[in-house]
Structure 1
Amino acid sequence: MAIYHLKVKTISRKKQQNVVASAAYRSGESLHCERTKETKYYSRTVQPETHILAPSEAPSWVFLRQDLWNEVERFEKRGNSRLAREVVVAIPNELSESEQRELVLTFAHDTFVQQGMIADVAIHRDDKNNPHAHILLTTREISQDGFVKKKNRDWDKKENLLAWREAWAKYTNLSLEKENVQERIDHRSYEERGIELLPTKHVGYKEHQLEKRGIRTETGEYNRRVQAYNQRLISLQEKRQSLVKEQQKKETDSISKVEISVKGYVALHKKIELVTKQQERLQDNKSKQKLHSYTWLKEQIETSAYRQLEEKNLHVYIQEQPMELQGEYSVRMYEKMKELQTEDMVSLVEAVERDMVMEKVESHLKQSVTYERLQSHVVLLDRWEKSMQKQQNNGRISDTRYVSNMNILQAQREDTKQAIQWYELQAMSYLSRQGYSVYLRDWKEEKHPEIAIQLLEEMKQSPTISMGMIVQRVKENEVLSEAQKIIRKEVTIDAIDMRRKQLHKWKVAEQKQKRSERVEHIIEQAKVLVKARKILVERCEQELKQYPKTQGIIQSLGMTENSPVMSKWLSWKQAMGRDVTEEESMSYVTKLSLQQKEEKMLQEAKKVLRKEVTYHSVSVAIDQLQEQLTDTPIKIILNEARTKRMAYELAIERAGEYQKLSSKWRKTSSHQYQLEKLKTWLTQKGIDVNNLAYSLQRMKWNVGKIEKEALRKERIAEVQLPRIQQAKKVLEEQAIRYVGETYPELKDLYTHRHLLSQKERQVLVQMKLWNEESGKVYDFVNRQGNLEDLQDKIIRKKLHVKQSISHVSAVVQKFAKVHQAEQVLAQAEEEKKELETKGNTFKRVVLRDQTLLKEYQAVQERIEKAKEVLQIKQELVKENGEARQAELEELKLSYHQFQEKENRLDGLLEVSDILERTRQKMQQEAKEREYEHQQAIRRKKMKHRGLEL
């Protein structure tokens, strides 16, 4: 029987109460109070159903019960502070658990949360006959930064209490009416309603327990007298009316000659199509008999299904369909009637149409149907439509084909949209049945279907967290979705930071151009990114609490929740779609940190090389740098630089003394002696005393040159060479891991990597590069013959390229000779003219000046030689010098590539032997480790017995 009960009381320090303890008692959870340093826990036989509702602007930590009420305890400073307000309501027993949940949550949301309170709801069902709810409310409004300083005193007014009482009666009666329950409750007293009945008093928990044991209480005695009095006033028929419940008639077909199923019907239809084509092609009696048999069976199935529906008066919908589809609809509706155990026409029609549309959509998608795939298909159809419109505008598609394709597109779009609507309707219906539809009120009505889908997905992924946290996650996902549109790639902490830097530069540029609208748009985007970053950090912090060992690894590696590794870890955990183990989490974080370190090392090496880091480029760079260090050792250069610097400083000092003495107008014999001595010393050091400034500057330049060379060598030894060597080691380690993960027989290779020689490491790198270039895993052991054949082909190609290089190089050299001869001829002709003019002669006139004659003869010889060279120009008429030069460069590059492949194949041909040696080394070390382990166990046992081994 539905009864009205609503009681409001406060949780106050004045009464020596603790709000964390109160929340623990009502929720049945273990909560730790930070103020008293105590853990509060009250066990219950039936675990309460708990929810936390909060305004949309509330931060995410309010959905964590312990954090919420500890924050209340911390915020309220006074000794007599009112910490919370509690509302206790009795729930009608006539409602199901999901209906009770929806009633309480809707009432709490509309009555308290919309006014700015946070509601901690606990539904108690310890006694099946007394379901009730405790609603613990905060006394302050909440903002994004936490609780506000000033309390809302309007919540304490009596008018509010009366409004709450009326609201509970209203919401309860609406729920009872919705479920066709005749009972109603009223918040007014008998006196206010004009009823002469006497009201009963509320029986508290302690008195209720005493009454259950048979111990009479004062309140119980009073209520019994009141009830006896009221019974005399109300007739039995007015007091209780019998509830009439409709029973649905369930009938199953026990007598059926033909088994009716959609799966069998569809298979039979396909057989008929196949046999029809076969009969048309062969025209034989066997195919004709098969076709007749299958067709007769199909007609029997359709007739049987139709008659079954006709007996249930469900054939009306079938008659409205086209004649060729009536049989299929009959079979589908009959199977749905058996599956759903219902004869409701609307439900059956909806189920049949849904199945047919889903099958069509599945044929469009060519894979199983999900909500995400349907959304993607809608986008794909939009792109297809734009593409066809563009083709029609450009005249690349005929009008007939365009209309045909558009009809197909529109049909697919209608089917897809209908499937999406059914998914959304199913999600909305589920939330309504479970009493969670109240959570949709934080969004606009047009977004409810989409949000319902997201809520269901979050509930599947995180079944253990509260509904309030799920709602908060969906809101946060909306922010992350906006951030993804801004970033245009996966939302991670490092991606957000990078995009924020770009936005800042863009904002500065737009501010200089005084474009205020764009600046405001940039600021809005930056705010979204700040929110998204905060969400990722909070999620990392919350998720890491479940993995203490992972936290330990993070701290040991010097990483924080703000690091890119953590955002990648969070994305990985969400992508897994399940709860990952501590070992998996630790392994992934270790792997990420290793990748981060390796990427950093490779980036440092790239700065040194100033080009792409490959194993070949790194090896060549190491050889070059070591050769530079070997040519002139650093110690020698440093000693030379130090000696030169000291000599320069001493020369500066002596030159200063020399200038000081030489500037004196009166010099003694001692001064003259010192000047001669200083002059001799400076001359020995190569310093001209008559030009001291230039000599000292030259000496300083030589010192600086040696010091720069010393610094360069020192940088090579201390910075560049170590970085490149680290990069080489990283590439080798990556190759070892790859080979161990790719080839099962070498799965422990990384553990035994210290056994590998440098040549073996190099071969493993070549194996990795070979597989990456070919795009598949190559069997180097069993397919060595293929490698040998490939090497022979490469050698032949290399020889052919070498011959081509010789031929093209000869042509290029001829072009170079011709070009040089043309330049020489032009220069010689010019000199000849000058000599003829200078000697005042003309062509073929003997020059009288012997010097001019010799010069003239030399120029004439150069002209004749140049003309002889230019005779080969006729051979090059059909040739193009620039093209030949480019061809030569390409041939040299090809030759170099073939040379590299040949060298790589030389190493790969030894893979079989190297892998066998490596396997033997690993087995030998494993045996040695096992022997040492057994010896250690033996020594421990002997020591335990008091003996020494």
Structure 2
Amino acid sequence: MANYHCQIRPIQRSKGRSVIQLLGYITGLKLRSTRTGRTYRRRTRGDVVRFACVGSNLPIQDLWQKAESAERRKNSIEGRHQIVALPRENSQEEQWKMLVAMAEVISRLLGVPVVVALHDNAGELDKPRNPHGHLIFATRVWNERGQSFGGKTRALDVATTGSVIIESIRKKWEDIVNAGLPAGVPKVSRLSHTRAGRNRIPRRHLGERATELERKGIPTRYGNFNRRIDKLDRIAERRMKVENQLNPASILSRADRQRELGLQRELAIADALIADLSPMRRNPPANTPVVANQTKQFDTGKTVGAGSERNESPQPSNLPIIDQAPPQNGDKTQPPEVSGDGGPAIPSQLLPLSLEEELRLASEALDGATGPEKDLLPPL
């Protein structure tokens, strides 16, 4: 499957980079730098398929010596390097046409010469195919009639305009690749997972050195990272399949899942608050408001929240109940509600019982347990 990769980097002298050295690498030519006095050439040319220069008829050596001499400062940017991935579904001739079309777009857009090269290790049997292209373009406007470089392309140096130009170049490369892909091959996209709305973690680009180590069986940091992300994606995909098989009629969307998780979280918080309130029922501190309608029944010190599925055994008669019905028929066993020191009214069920009241309740319970035997017989 074709993938999208388009990276543009400046060639900076301050970082020890030279445009002549990079040109010797992508073309395989033996080039000499007048600034450094050194000669550069690629050691092996096995993956250099073809190269050309768009926007100028001068030889590459003469053209880029002028480009190098036009930059006087020690921290100048001598050029820009663009690397693009080519689809394996296309032939080398079709891939070359894509690269030339991209070079012509940049040359017309900025008015600069562009050197384009196609690399592919198709002839090396011990390595997988890696077709890709290199484009190097100058930072000054080229005058073909006068055979000289003019002013700098400042639009790329400013953040506000440079980002727009870079985005337009990336969009153009996306259009070129999608137009050249064979029928039935999925289209590529320049958008990241976040911009495209995909809930995926982006992988790390290995690069040349890390890729070579991975091919030799030596794990790298980025390689391990990508393998972990692939494993997480496989787990998430299997989980989604299982969820769809278990409940195919009502497949929840991502928003519904988030809403359901929020409700479960609120329910857990409410249960925790109820559990914290239960030790205060017998002896609440002063000036502490009591919230009603939070608990329904108690059993041996455990609090049961409304709507939960906990133990629903019959409650002991000597434990108080919140929100119970008011006393009727002159029942005076319920003392009236009292208020604390300037605090809100506290229900009588939450107040500690006096010693006399405890003895009375105990005697009533004892009398009920030792009543007439006829009450224990089953009805006729």
Shorter-chain TM-score tier: 0.5 to 0.7
- Indicate the SS of the match to 1:52: strand
Alignment of 1:204 with 2:238, yes or no, is no
User: How far did residue 15 of structure 1 move?
Assistant: 1.2
**Match of 1:170?**
175
Shift in Å at residue 78 of structure 1?
Answer: 1.1
- Cα 1:234–1:116 shift into 2, 3 Å: farther
Determine helix, strand or coil for the equivalent of 1:201.
coil
Q: Which residue of 1 aligns with 2:61?
A: 66
- The answer as to 2:50 corresponding to 1:49 is yes
Determine helix, strand or coil for the equivalent of 2:152.
coil
**Displacement, 1:170?**
1.4
Native 8 Å contact 1:26 1:48 kept in 2: no
2:158 maps to 1:153:
no
Measured against aligned partners, the alpha-carbon deviations of 1:784-812 in whole angstroms (never above 9, x if no partner) come to xxxxxxxxxxxxxxxxxxxxxxxxxxxxx
- Kindly indicate whether the alpha-carbon contact (under 8 Å) linking 1:94 and 1:181 is maintained by their aligned counterparts in 2: no
Where does residue 119 of structure 1 map in the other structure? 114
Does 1:228 find its partner at 2:231?
Answer: yes
Taking the TM superposition and a 5 Å limit, the aligned residue runs for 1:659-678 are none
Residue 13 of structure 1 contacts residue 81 of structure 1 at CA under 8 Å; is this kept in 2? yes
Deviation at 1:49, TM superposition (A): 1.3
Offset of residue 18 of structure 1? 1.7
Distance 1:31 1:115 in 2: 25
Q: Where does residue 190 of structure 1 map in the other structure?
A: 193
1:106-137 deviations in whole A, cap 9, x for unaligned?
A: 12212444431211011111265211111001
Structure-1 residue corresponding to 2:82: 87
Deviation, 1:223, is 0.5
Task: Report the Cα offset of residue 47 of structure 1.
Answer: 3.0
TM-fit CA distance, 1:234: 4.4
The aligned length equals 228
Aligned partner (choices 180, 183, 186) of residue 180 of structure 1: 183
Per-residue CA deviation, residues 860-913 of structure 1 (Å, 9 max, x unaligned), is xxxxxxxxxxxxxxxxxxxxxxxxxxxxxxxxxxxxxxxxxxxxxxxxxxxxxx
Structural mapping, 1:299-698, within 5 Å: none
Q: 1:202 to 1:174 in 2, by over 3 A?
A: same
Task: Rate the CA distance shift 1:94–1:33 in 2: closer, same or farther, 3 A.
Answer: same
1:2 corresponding residue in structure 2: 2
Deviations 1:210-247 (A, max 9, x none): 11111111100110111122233447xx9xxxxxxxxx
Contact 2:193/2:200 (8 A) holds in 1: yes
Q: 2: CA distance between counterparts of 1:41 and 1:52?
A: 18
Structure 2 CA distance, aligned partners of 1:33 and 1:14?
A: 16
8 A Cα contact 1:113 1:119, kept in partner: no
Q: Distance in 1 between matches of 2:185 and 2:94?
A: 16
Q: Which has the larger radius of gyration?
A: 1
What percent of counterpart residues are identical? 28
> Unpaired segments of 5 or more residues in structure 2?
122-126, 242-380
Q: Is the contact made by 1:140 and 1:147 (CA closer than 8 Å) also made in structure 2?
A: no
CA distance in 2, matches of 1:112, 1:148: 14
SS at match of 2:190: coil
Paired residue for 1:510? Answer: none
TM-score (norm 1): 0.23
Distance 1:111 1:75 in 2: 20
TM superposition shift of 1:34: 2.7
* Counterpart code for 1:27: T
Bigger RCO (CA 8 Å, 6+ sep) = 2
RMSD value, Cα: 1.9
CA deviations 1:547-581 (Å, max 9, x no partner) are xxxxxxxxxxxxxxxxxxxxxxxxxxxxxxxxxxx
Q: TM-score, normalised by structure 2?
A: 0.57
SS of structure 2 residue aligned to 1:141? strand
Contact 2:48 2:118 (C-alpha < 8 Å) held by counterparts? no
Larger strand percent? 2
Answer yes or no: is 1:77 the counterpart of 2:78: no
Query: 2:140 is aligned with what amino acid?
Result: R
Supply the AA of the counterpart residue of 1:155. L
What CA deviation, in whole Å up to 9, does each residue of 1:695-726 have, x standing for no partner?
xxxxxxxxxxxxxxxxxxxxxxxxxxxxxxxx
Q: Is the 8 A contact 1:111 1:167 kept in 2?
A: no
Amino acid at match of 1:72: A
The separation in 1 between residues aligned to 2:106 and 2:19, in whole angstroms, is 22
Once residues 49 and 60 of structure 2 are traced to their aligned partners in structure 1, the CA distance between those partners, rounded to angstroms, is 14
The 8 Å contact of residues 13 and 76 in structure 2, kept in 1 or not, is answered as yes
Q: Distance in 1 between matches of 2:176 and 2:191?
A: 15
Residue by residue over 1:91-115, the C-alpha shift from the partner in whole angstroms, topping out at 9 and shown as x without a partner, is 1111100110111111221244443
